[in-house]
């Protein structure tokens, strides 16, 4: 059992115009096996929350805490957070020229486990996982995310999720840019990880479409840098019908 606790999180970024506050007191608890959906308007700070949990250097935590099983995540380096069991599937996965997918995945697995995976087993796992995600085996020889289509990048993120077996995963708009079939394939990947490892999921999305495949236990409405409302799956349906107007008005 793992628990990710976010308490009163305030986050700023440096801009040319000075410091800009983006998160204004986020409280959230995600436990193993749970799926939390976060929905909210563009620019409300969802990705900022995701990056802050993963430790992106651009974001400055000005107040609040992030704990994983009681341990202070904010004191951990980015790689230590991954080793502690956190995973971020990025909204915009980064290209790494000259580094092949197979080299990247093996290096990551080795770093997380503290030892190199047994070659045969590893190759078997990799092939199996790629097949499940309907990824062409050639992908392993391509450079990380270089020239990948939007959908291919997202599959590659979920491939990593399945192979690296984190405790808590944040999926930042993993469903954006996926066609109907890909959405299903990717969702199945997430559900497999949930079943096999009891993964806890924080799923950032704009659409209820993915929530039909990955059923949320909780839905949080994110507005202007904090959670404005929470509820069950029915809240997602209401948001889709009504939009965020209600929350934005109360903000103003």
Partner 1 sequence: MAQHGIEAHEHKLVPLQTRSERPRSTSISDFPELSNRQEIWRYLPMDRLQGLDAEVIGEVTQSELSIALSGAVTANWIDSSEQIVGTAGLPEDRISAIAWTNASKTLLVEVPSDQEIAEPVFLTLKLEELAAKALHIFVKVGANAKATIVLDHIGQGFLAENVEILLDPGANLDFVSIQDWDNGSSHVSNQFTRLGRDSTLKHVVVSLGGDLVRVTPSVALDSPGAEIQMYGVFLADSKNYFEHRPYVDHIAENCVSNVAYKGALQGAGAHTVWVGDVLIRETAIGTNSYELNRNLLLTDGARADSVPNLEIETGKIEGAGHASASGRFDDEQLFYLMARGIGDTEAKRLVVRGFLNEVVQKVGISQVEDRLIASIEQGLEKAGV
Ligand X SMILES: Nc1ncnc2c1ncn2[C@@H]1O[C@H](COP(=O)(O)OP(=O)(O)OP(=O)(O)O)[C@@H](O)[C@H]1O
**Which residues contact ligand X (rule: CB under 6 A)?**
13, 15, 20, 22, 40, 42-48, 58, 91
**By CB under 8 A, residue 54 contacts partner 1:** yes
**CA dist., res. 164 & res. 108, Å (int):** 8
Q: Which is nearer to Mg ion, 46 or 106 (CB)?
A: 46
Least distance CB 171 / partner 1 (angstroms) = 13
**CA dist., res. 14 & res. 11, Å (int):** 10
3-state secondary structure of 140: helix
Which of 55, 64, 216, 225 binds partner 1 (CB under 8 A)? It is: 55
Sequential DSSP letters for 144-209: ETTT--HHHHHHHHHHHHHHH--SEEEEESTTTT--HHHHHHHHHHHHHHHHHH--EEEEE-S-SG
Q: Name the one range near Mg ion by CB under 5 A: 52-60, 84-92, 139-147, 241-249.
A: 84-92
Q: Which is nearer to partner 1, 108 or 248 (CB)?
A: 108
DSSP state at residue 112: H
Q: Which is nearer to partner 1, 40 or 93 (CB)?
A: 93
Q: Name the one range near partner 1 by CB under 8 A: 106-114, 125-133, 191-199, 232-240.
A: 106-114
Contact predicate 34/201, CB 8 Å? yes
**By CB under 5 A, residue 47 contacts Mg ion:** yes
97, burial (CB in 10 Å: exposed 0-12, middle 13-18, buried 19+): exposed
Q: Name the one range near partner 1 by CB under 8 A: 36-44, 103-111, 205-213, 224-232.
A: 103-111
**By CB under 8 A, residue 189 contacts partner 1:** no
């Amino acid at each position: 059992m793992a628990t990710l606790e976010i308490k009163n999180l305030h986050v700023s970024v440096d801009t040319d115009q000075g410091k800009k506050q983006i998160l204004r007191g986020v409280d959230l608890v995600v436990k193993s096996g749970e799926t939390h959906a976060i929905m909210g308007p563009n620019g409300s700070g969802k990705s900022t929350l995701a990056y802050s949990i993963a430790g992106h250097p651009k974001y400055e935590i000005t107040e609040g805490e992030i704990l994983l099983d009681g341990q202070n995540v904010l004191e951990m380096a980015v790689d230590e957070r991954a080793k502690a069991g956190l995973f971020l599937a990025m909204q915009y996965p980064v290209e790494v020229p000259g580094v092949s997918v197979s080299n990247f995945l093996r290096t990551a697995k080795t770093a997380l486990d503290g030892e190199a995976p047994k070659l045969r087993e590893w190759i078997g796992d990799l092939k199996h996982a790629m097949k499940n995600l309907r990824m062409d085996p050639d992908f392993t020889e391509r450079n990380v995310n270089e020239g990948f289509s939007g959908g291919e990048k997202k599959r590659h993120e979920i491939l990593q999720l399945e192979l690296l077996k984190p405790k808590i995963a944040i999926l930042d708009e993993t469903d954006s840019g996926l066609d109907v079939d890909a959405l299903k394939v990717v969702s199945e990947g997430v559900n497999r990880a949930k079943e096999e490892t009891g993964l806890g999921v924080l799923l950032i999305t704009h659409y209820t479409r993915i929530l039909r495949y990955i059923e949320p236990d909780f839905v949080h409405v994110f507005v202007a840098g904090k959670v404005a409302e929470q509820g069950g799956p029915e809240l997602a349906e209401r948001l889709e019908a009504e939009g965020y107007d209600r929350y934005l008005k109360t903000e103003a």
